[in-house]
Amino acid sequence: MLPLGTPAPDFSLVNVDGTTVSRDDFAGAPGLLVVFMCNHCPFVIHLADALSAFAAEYQPKGLAIVGISSNDVGGYPADSPEQMVAEAEARGYVFPYLYDETQQVAKAYRAACTPDFFLYDADQRLVYRGQFDSTRPDSGQQPTGADLRAACDAVLAGQPAPEKQLPSIGCNIKWRPGNEPDYFG
């Protein structure tokens, strides 16, 4: 995992609306949340509606949020850019949902799974790399985003993120054959 305090790696990727979105578009925000996600993973599906509601609640508070899909669409066509458009519309995502075709952005963030959450402070330094909450698919529990909320509330208040950070759990990012990063495996 990226060490806390690491600057947010740069990105410039195409959004579902066809525009290009980059990290620098969020300069000046009190916090930046980068979520590696996709359409087909049961862990993302489990919290997708809660993530949509979370974004609708936290973006007006100043939190910048961006979703990034880095999965190999050759092997996982449900994660194609066309399907990302449909998913963003169906879920009501109010944040940019970007496609990382080369998988270089996922590698720069050392993203491992979907979903994978990276929260940066006003200086775009990593302060949280943990789970949305402790619920899981088929747990019978509805996701609340409790862990991520605590971290975001702290960042937006100018306070340190919680020290206890549990890694996110989900499906591995679907790397193109031969493109797997050195930290995968």
Please report, rounded to a whole number, the percentage of residues in the chain having pLDDT higher than 90.
98
Q: What is the pLDDT of residue 184?
A: 84
Q: What is the pLDDT of residue 58?
A: 98
Question: Angle, nearest 10°, between helix axes 146-156 and 42-58?
Answer: 30
- Omega of the bond prior to 115 within 30 degrees of 0, cis? yes
Query: Looking at residues 94-109, what average pLDDT do you find?
Result: 98
How many other β-carbons are positioned within 10 Å of the β-carbon of residue 65? 24
Q: What is the pLDDT of residue 87?
A: 98
* Distance in angstroms between the alpha carbons of the first and the last residue of the chain: 13
Q: What is the pLDDT of residue 30?
A: 98
Query: Looking at residues 44-59, what average pLDDT do you find?
Result: 98
Q: Is pTM, for the whole model, over 0.95?
A: yes
pLDDT tens-digit readout, 118-148: 999 999 999 999 999 999 999 999 999 999 9
With cut-offs at 50, 70 and 90, classify the pLDDT of residue 1.
confident
Cβ partners under 8 Å of residue 22, min gap 6: 10, 11, 12, 13
Cβ partners under 8 Å of residue 53, min gap 6: none
Q: Secondary structure of 85-151 in the HEC alphabet?
A: HHHHHHHCCCCCEEECCCCHHHHHHCCCEECEEEEECCCCEEEECCCCCCCCCCCCCCCCCHHHHHH
pLDDT tens-digit readout, 10-29: 999 999 999 999 999 999 99
The pair of structure tokens assigned to 126 is: 């990593």
Cβ partners under 8 Å of residue 106, min gap 6: 36, 68, 70, 100, 173, 181
Coil vs helix vs strand at 60: helix
Cβ atoms of 32 and 26 within 8 Å: the answer is yes
Region class of 84: left (phi > 0), else alpha (psi between -120 and 50), else beta: alpha
Q: What is the pLDDT of residue 10?
A: 98
Residue 185 has pLDDT above 80, yes or no: no
Residue 39 has pLDDT above 80, yes or no: yes
Alpha carbons 57 and 181: distance in angstroms, whole number: 34
Query: Looking at residues 94-104, what average pLDDT do you find?
Result: 98
Residue 91 has pLDDT above 90, yes or no: yes
